[in-house]
Amino acid sequence: MGFTRRDILRASVAGAFATGATALPTQLLAANKTVKIGMNIPMTGDYAPWGLPGLYGCEIVANNINTAGGVKIGGDTYNIEMVAYDHGYDTEKAVQGYKKLVLQDEVKMVMMLGGSTVASVLPWAQRRKMLTTTLLPSDITPESEYLVATCESHPLYNVTGVEYLKAKYPDAKTAAIVTNNDAEYGLQSAATYKAAFEVAGIDVVDVNLHGFDITDFAPIVSSVLAKNPDIFCMATSFYVTPLMEQLYHQGFKGKIISCTLDYYDEIIAKTSREFVDGTIFQFPDFDDPALNDPGVNFPNPGDFDAKYRAAHPNDWSAVSWEYPAILLNWLEGAKAAASVDPTAVLKALRSAKNPEFVFGGGQWWGSQLWGLDNAVVGRWPVVVVENGKARIQEYRSVSGWLEKNKDVLIKHMKELGLRTV
C-alpha cells in the first residue's frame, strides 16, 4: 500500500511512548475530527481475559496517536476514540451491543473475539455493510463479505510449533492431545494439531476431548500418560494451568506443546521453572528482542509492552496486542482509502495482494477452507519458555505450510465434524 504500521506510528511512538512525553495543546487536538472504533467484546465473565486486555492495548495505541497529533486520513486529521461494549460472551447481549455501537455510537469498525457472538451479529452486520473483525477465522463463511480476520489466524498458526518441535526434537515420535470439545476453539485446534503431526510423521496415540464440567484433571492426564506419549499437546485448551499442574505432579518428562500458555508465570509458581521451561507455544511477550525483526509490523513493541504492563500489570494476554494490531491494520486501510467509510476501508484492505501482517509475510487466505479469502495469514513466531520467560525461537510460514498441506488439514477438520467448504 506504500506505507506500513511503522510509518503510521513512528512519530507518535517516538514521542508518546517516551517517558515524560508532552501532549499537544488541547486546542490543536480539539480541532481534529474524531473517528470511533467499536469493540463488542467480553469484559466480564470467563471470557474476559480474551477481551478486556485488548481494550487496554487499543487505548494505549489510540492515546499515543492522539497525543502525537492524530492521524491524517484523506484531507482530514482524526483523533481515535475507542468505544467498548461488554457482552460477556452472551449472544443476545452481543447483538444489543453491536447495534448500539453502530447506530448510537456511529463507529466505523467493530472488533470482536469470535465464535457464537460473531455468528449472532453477522446477518445484521452484512445488511448494514459494517466492517467487522474476528480473532477466529473459522467464523468466515462464503457470505461474510464484511467480516475479516487480519491478525490472528487461529488455529492455522499451530502448525509452526509442530514443525519446530519436529526439527528440534526428531526423537519425539508420538503425541497425545487433550483439550475442550467445543467447535470454536478446542476442536478447530485439535484438528490442526492432528494434521500438523501427520505431516511431521508423528503418531497421535490418544485424543481426549472433554467437556467444560471437568473439575479434576488427574484422571484424564493419568489415562493419557498411560499411552506413553513423547509429546503432550493441549491444543487451545481453556484449562492449561490445571493440565500443567497434573503433568508436573504425575512426573511427565516429555515435550509439551500448546496453542496458548497465558499466565505462564502463574503456572511456574504452581509447578517449577524447570518444569515449564521448554514448553512450546505460539504467543510472544512484546518485550522480546526478536520482535525487532524488520518484517514485524508493530511499532516499538518493547515500548508498548512496558507501557501496558505499567498500567495493567496483571492483565497481559495475547489479545493485549492482537486488537491493537487490528486497529493498526484498519488505519492502513483508511489511509489507503482516504476515507473512514467501512466499505471503502474494506475495499482498500482487500485490494492489497500482500497485506501488512503483524509478523510479516501476509496474504489473504480462507476460500479453500471457509469459502472466502478474508483471513490474513503470514509468518508466525514459535515461542518457548526459557529461564522462566517466553522467547521467540524463530518465525515460520503458515501460508507455506497451507500451500503444501491444506488437504491434510481439511481431512482432519471433516473428521471432527467441523465446517469446511
d(CA 188, CA 184): 6
- Please check the confidence at residue 2 and state whether its pLDDT lies above 80: no
pLDDT at 12: 39
d(CA 311, CA 308): 5
Say yes or no: domain 5-154+295-377 is CATH 2.60.120.10: no
Q: Mind listing the pLDDT tens digit for each residue in 232-247?
A: 999 999 999 999 999 9
d(CA 270, CA 103): 47
- Please check the confidence at residue 195 and state whether its pLDDT lies above 90: yes
Q: Give the closest residue to 79 by CA, choosing from 58, 63, 90.
A: 63
Convert 225-239 to b/e letters by CB count within 10 Å (16 or more is b): beeebbbbbbbbbbb
15 — pLDDT class (breaks 50, 70, 90)? very low
| Pick among 3.40.50.300, 1.10.1040.10, 3.10.580.10, 3.40.50.2300: CATH of 158-281+380-415 | 3.40.50.2300
pLDDT at 256: 98
Is the separation of the CB atoms in 284 and 385 below 8 Å?
no
**Torsion angle, CA of 391/396/399/402, rounded to 10 degrees?**
-100
d(CA 191, CA 314): 32
Locate the domains of the chain by residue range: 5-154+295-377, 158-281+380-415
Q: Which three cell numbers stand for residue 26?
A: 488541547
Terminal CA-CA length for the chain: 31
Q: Which three cell numbers stand for residue 45?
A: 465473565
Q: Mind listing the pLDDT tens digit for each residue in 360-402?
A: 999 999 999 999 999 999 999 999 999 999 999 999 999 999 9
Mean residue pLDDT of the chain comes to 93
Do 158-281+380-415 and 5-154+295-377 have the same topology in CATH? yes
Burial zone of 161 (CB within 10 Å; 0-12 exposed, 13-18 middle, 19+ buried): buried
Model-wide pTM > 0.85: yes
